[in-house]
Structure 1
Amino acid sequence: MLIKTLLLISVFFITYLSADFKEGKKIFLQKCSSCHSKYIDMKIIKKNFFENENKTLKMTSPSENMLAYAIMDSPKHLGEKDDPEMQQIEIEEFLKDYLENPDLNNTICEGRIIQYYNKKLPSNYDLSSEDISNLAIYFMNYKEERLKNNSTKIELKVLPNNFNEEKLLKEAKKQQKRILIYATAKTCHFCKKMDKEVLSLSDVKNEIKKDFILLKVDIEDSSLPFNLAKNYRGMTPTFFAINNDGKLQNKYPGSWNKKDFLLILKENSK
């Protein structure tokens, strides 16, 4: 009976934390996202600040994952992970103080990049104590939740009816990625085979996600974007590697095994 009770308490506690994480995410989107962007890959962030002097992204405030890193994992991190209750209190106190009196001199973010941030910070977040508690839990669990939800996902987009080439190019430039167009068809046996035996593999997905936005185009329903029809010979599958200016770099007709497909990705990565 005692074990059952403890299990019920444990399940309740996990559910409670999950609910608070979701509430914290909602609060961040509603009240913080006007200044702080969504997730940006850390490789891109480092290159932006330390190689390009913020000329690529032109960030004026840290992204959500930069905030989570600063709070939980940076040299200036708040509290200790082996005492989560006390850590949550410290994070709440920091958030409350900083949001009431925003000052870049008191930031816990990387000192070498705060020179690029807005010097005049907003102070009208209007967050309750409960909001701040939920935000603290959001940041405490951000990394774990992101890994859990995105470890094997790839940025696979299916061509919509209202597809906008310029919007996709803008997204690719922002993420500093290239575009991989996958010409396929519902009736294509080799497409289904490649989907199952290559594109569904976690390591292949991760390699795609690292450097590409993958756009799937069913040629039975849609026309190929970026004026690719003139380079297409009707074979499915065919892969087109496009740079983020919309120019064709390479074309690969046919089905590929894992080893050869990884070489294709490497050949067209940055």
Structure 2
Amino acid sequence: MFKKGLLLTLLLFLTHINASYLEGKKIFENKCSSCHGKYISIKNLKINFFEQDNKIYKLTVPTVNMLAYAIVDGPKRIGDPEDKEMQEIEIEEYLKDYLEEPDISNTICDPIIIKYYEKKEAIKIADDETLNLTHFFMEYKKNRLSKSKPKITELNKFYDENKILDEAKKSNKKLIVYATSKSCYFCKKMERDVLSLKEIQKRMNKDFIFLKVDVDEINLPFNLKKHFKGMTPTFFFVSKNKELENIYPGAWLKDDFITILQENIDEK
């Protein structure tokens, strides 16, 4: 009896170890995404529901990020976020019960916006699918943020050029060296209006390593100082082999900066 119980415990442990965010994402896309729409920012959702009476998006079900928030972080969240293992089990149980027998009285969504939602149809889902879906929701926020935010390396006087170049070669990416300063008005404006946009961040993350350099505090890397005319912002595009390819002084509008990025992407 002891050995059998131990075996069951081990199998349960291995099942949870093998659970995957990516597998859960596939399940969500195949079984849920046709109803539950893609990400909409919280700011726009608040405007939609609380200022425009749902007239902008006309949502009849929560979006994927609304679901993830409600399940993991919302006021009626499932489980204790301080105890991830137990929270995972509770979310898994909740999902299986709710998907097979949807009940509006048992929803964890914001009660103020439930009035806009239509009755949900039941979904048959296997145990392993429920577990992977659980991982998808629990790790949704972390994965979305890691993909949307640019990987910005703010260089300091201890930076290592060789390590940066090694990373560029391994990832087959070029370098964008962004010359800025704390007193630069146009740098702050461009960071707010252009560099912070998800579309721009996605394009930069895909093909470039982005290096931010405060020229008032440290020298530009890769011997770029001799090419710098003192204007901030200035964007230097450097190959993975340390070769300066292009220089773009000044602040740029979104469409212009997209053109600049495109000009510096090698055909693959």
TM-score (norm 2): 0.54
Distance in 2 between the 1:209 and 1:30 partners? 33
Whether contact under 8 Å (1:152, 1:202) holds in the other structure is no
- Which residue of structure 1 lines up, in the alignment, with residue 131 of structure 2? 133
TM-superposed deviation, 1:136: 0.6
- Which residue of structure 1 lines up, in the alignment, with residue 143 of structure 2? 145
TM-superposed deviation, 1:89: 0.8
Matched ranges for 1:212-223 at <5 A:
none
Moved over 2 A (4+): 16-19, 195-198, 201-214
- Which residue of structure 2 lines up, in the alignment, with residue 42 of structure 1? 42
Whether contact under 8 Å (1:17, 1:137) holds in the other structure is no
Whether contact under 8 Å (2:35, 2:61) holds in the other structure is yes
- Which residue of structure 2 lines up, in the alignment, with residue 208 of structure 1? 194
1:56-96 deviation per Cα after TM superposition (whole angstroms, max 9, x unaligned): 00111001100000011111111112211110111011111
Larger radius of gyration: 2
- The one-letter amino acid of 2:53's match is E
1:198-241 deviation per Cα after TM superposition (whole angstroms, max 9, x unaligned): 8xx99956643767866x9xxxxxxxxxxxxxxxxxxxxxxxxx
Query: What residue ranges of structure 1 are gaps of 5+ in the alignment?
Result: 1-12, 154-194, 217-254, 266-270
Change in CA separation of 1:72 and 1:29 when aligned onto 2, cut-off 3 Å: same
Change in CA separation of 1:22 and 1:204 when aligned onto 2, cut-off 3 Å: farther
- The one-letter amino acid of 1:53's match is D
Does residue 178 of structure 2 align to residue 197 of structure 1? yes
TM-score (norm 1): 0.54
- Which residue of structure 1 lines up, in the alignment, with residue 81 of structure 2? 81
1:73-123 deviation per Cα after TM superposition (whole angstroms, max 9, x unaligned): 1111111122111101110111111111112221101111111111x2111
- Which residue of structure 2 lines up, in the alignment, with residue 122 of structure 1? 121
Give the root-mean-square deviation of aligned CA atoms.
3.5
Number of residue-to-residue matches in the alignment? 168
Whether contact under 8 Å (1:37, 1:63) holds in the other structure is yes
Does residue 64 of structure 2 align to residue 64 of structure 1? yes
Distance in 2 between the 1:43 and 1:208 partners? 18
Does residue 13 of structure 2 align to residue 32 of structure 1? no
Between the aligned residues of both structures, percent identity stands at 45
TM-superposed deviation, 1:126: 2.2
